Amino acid sequence: MNKFSFRLLLTLGSGLVLMFIIAPIAGMFISTSASELFTTVKDLEVLKSIRLTLITSFAATLFMAIGAIPLAYLLARKKFYLKKLILGIIDLPIVIPHSAAGIAMLGFLSRNSFLGKAASSVGLDFVGNPIGISAAMAFVSIPFLVNAARDGFLSVPERLEKTARSLGASSARVFFTISVPLAGRSIVSGLVMMFARGLSEFGAIVIIAYHPMVTPVLIFERFGSYGLQYARPVAVVFILVCLIFFILLRYISGGKKNA
């Protein structure tokens, strides 16, 4: 195979993959009229669901980052027994069906569980609550943050950390002033991916909290009740909102440096 044929093969293969991604989304946009979009944008139920989806996903990402980033650092720097097992457990939410993830979370958060009883004693119920939605989002999306942050810490030369410690810096100071800043791009990328994954979750959330409705559940509900014509505009609006947030977050996390 000559150089031209190889390039042609690469171009055709790449084009087919891109077309496979773009065509369904483009078709959905083309099939949605401006009047339908305008009506959907004014729909208070849609606006409330989008706001709830953004807030709960952001809260899940921010809260879980407190523990996920230190965990990623330990996985990158320490060697210990059963480390490979722990790495496999972290990836488990990605590979299990999300309906199964929802059932697992329901058993963990329901009123009959230890955590659910403790919450009920202070008047809190996770089921049908935004907190439960955030928990479901965090469960299915946290591997993206842990894995990205771990890769970032692995790229930081250990000699820099050892040198700083030899000069009298504490482990905490080394972590916050050397390790985290140098791995910052990967950490922020993981945060963005976790946030984005939380926005798109449906299977786990619909079991934990059908109401209040996040947008993926609202799209499903409108499709089941009214059909494609009423569900499609909501999907288009939500895709546009997600795209705007994703581009902004990507730009903040490193767009200026790449410009």
Per-residue pLDDT of the chain (259 residues; tens, 9 = 90+): 677 788 888 999 999 999 999 999 999 999 999 999 999 999 999 999 999 999 999 999 999 999 999 999 999 999 888 899 999 999 999 999 989 999 999 999 988 888 888 888 888 889 999 999 999 999 999 999 999 999 999 999 999 999 999 999 999 999 999 999 999 999 999 999 999 999 999 999 999 999 999 999 999 999 999 999 999 999 999 999 988 888 887 777 665 444 4
Orientation angle between helical segments 130-154 and 184-200, nearest 10 degrees: 150
pLDDT for the residue 259: 41
- Inter-CA distances, 130 with 29, 55, 87, 211, 234, Å: 30, 9, 29, 9, 21
9 lies in some domain:
no
Which residues have a Cβ under 8 Å from the Cβ of 218 and sit 6 or more positions away? 45, 46, 49, 234
Q: Which domain holds residue 191?
A: 35-258
pLDDT for the residue 234: 96
pLDDT for the residue 255: 52
| Whole-angstrom distance, CA of residue 65 vs CA of residue 72 | 10
H or E element in which residue 175 lies = none
- Inter-CA distances, 189 with 67, 77, 176, Å: 17, 20, 18
Token reading at 32: 């949605």
Token reading at 154: 């692995």
The total number of structural domains in the chain stands at 1
82 lies in some domain:
yes
H or E element in which residue 32 lies = none
Amino acid present at 221: E
26 lies in some domain:
no
| Whole-angstrom distance, CA of residue 164 vs CA of residue 156 | 13
126 lies in some domain:
yes
Task: Write the CATH number for 201.
Answer: 1.10.3720.10
pLDDT for the residue 226: 92
User: Nearest Cα to 101, choosing from 205, 218, 217?
Assistant: 205
pLDDT tens-place string over residues 174-206: 999 999 999 999 999 999 999 999 999 999 999
Q: pTM, whole model, 2 decimals?
A: 0.89
R_g of the chain computed on alpha carbons: 22
17 lies in some domain:
no
Is the separation of the CB atoms in 68 and 145 below 8 Å?
yes
pLDDT for the residue 23: 93
> Quick check: helix, strand or coil at residue 127?
coil
E runs forming strands in 112-229: none
24 lies in some domain:
no
| Whole-angstrom distance, CA of residue 73 vs CA of residue 151 | 9
30 lies in some domain:
no
pLDDT for the residue 139: 96
pLDDT for the residue 256: 47
